[in-house]
Structure 1
Amino acid sequence: MMWWLLSGAIVVEVAATLALRASEGGRKKAWLVPVVAGYVVAFALLSATLSEGMAVGVAYGVWAACGVALTAVAGRLLFREPLTWIMALGIATIVGGVLLIETGSAAH
């Protein structure tokens, strides 16, 4: 259950971040409602994930890595932002680091 909660938190947080980008710095006010609501829901789901017993280092690592990767790809697709091979290598490095944290956590 905790992985489903964390997955939901990640998806909602990425959606809120994309809405923030779509708001163009707050100039498009209609986008601010999904931004605020999304972040509130995302943090509530992250809190529920931690309440289910997931280690904070694992939860935050997975949250951050997936958030970075998904936001970068979605930014490329939706807003035509750059996504270079160097950026992709950085994302892969982050994901690799999170996998190491998860593996180390599972050893306990």
Structure 2
Amino acid sequence: MKRKWALLTGAIIAEVAGTLMLRATIENPLWIPLVVISYALAFTLLGLTLRLGLPIGVVYGTWAAFGVALVAVLGMVVFGDTLSIGAMIGIAIIIVGVVLIETSTKDKPRETGEEVTA
């Protein structure tokens, strides 16, 4: 179980890093190879997470919600972006929604004839 969440956490971190570097390419295109590597790593880890049996809705929802929240916060810190109160409330609602989905979803193996262990 911990391995699944470690892979998903890695996917989120790689995607956030890639997105922040994507913003940096505006001023310096030398960041482009690192953007490609980060996104490739993010999708690889996302795929591995799915192979371990977490439901796709939970995986994608968690990845997207925490990615949005982290990019927004780090965009403020790194690039001086601003967020309105409405945007902050919206991000909080997305995260609460993902937490509700996660806490109401039972983690069970997919019906492929094989039991998934992690």
Classify the TM-score, shorter chain: over 0.9
Kept in 1, the 8 Å contact 2:24–2:31? The answer is: yes
* 2:20 pairs with 1:29: no
Q: Judging changes above 3 Å, is the alpha-carbon distance between structure 1 residues 50 and 70 closer, same or farther for their aligned structure 2 residues?
A: same
Equivalent residue number for residue 94 of structure 1: 94
Q: Which amino acid in the other structure matches residue 89 of structure 2?
A: L
Q: How many pairs were matched up?
A: 106
CA drift at 1:47: 0.3
In structure 1, distance between residues paired with 2:25 and 2:107: 43
SS at match of 1:105: coil
Question: Could you tell me the TM-score, scaled by structure 1's length?
Answer: 0.93
Equivalent residue number for residue 71 of structure 2: 71
CA drift at 1:61: 0.5
* 2:29 pairs with 1:3: no
Kept in 1, the 8 Å contact 2:54–2:107? The answer is: no
Structure 2, unaligned runs of 5 or more: 109-118
CA drift at 1:85: 1.5
- After TM superposition, the runs of 4+ consecutive aligned structure 1 residues lying more than 3 A away are none
Greater helix percent: which structure?
Answer: 1
Question: Could you tell me the TM-score, scaled by structure 2's length?
Answer: 0.85
Matched ranges for 1:39-54 at <5 A: 39-54=39-54
Kept in 1, the 8 Å contact 2:18–2:39? The answer is: yes
Equivalent residue number for residue 15 of structure 1: 17
SS at match of 2:49: helix
In structure 1, distance between residues paired with 2:41 and 2:5: 16
In structure 2, distance between residues paired with 1:99 and 1:71: 18
Identity %: 48
Deviation digits for residues 46-88 of structure 1 (CA, Å, limit 9, x no counterpart): 0000011111000001001100000000000000011222111
In structure 2, distance between residues paired with 1:46 and 1:57: 12
Q: Which amino acid in the other structure matches residue 14 of structure 2?
A: V
Structure 1, unaligned runs of 5 or more: none
In structure 1, distance between residues paired with 2:92 and 2:29: 35
Q: Which has the larger radius of gyration?
A: 2
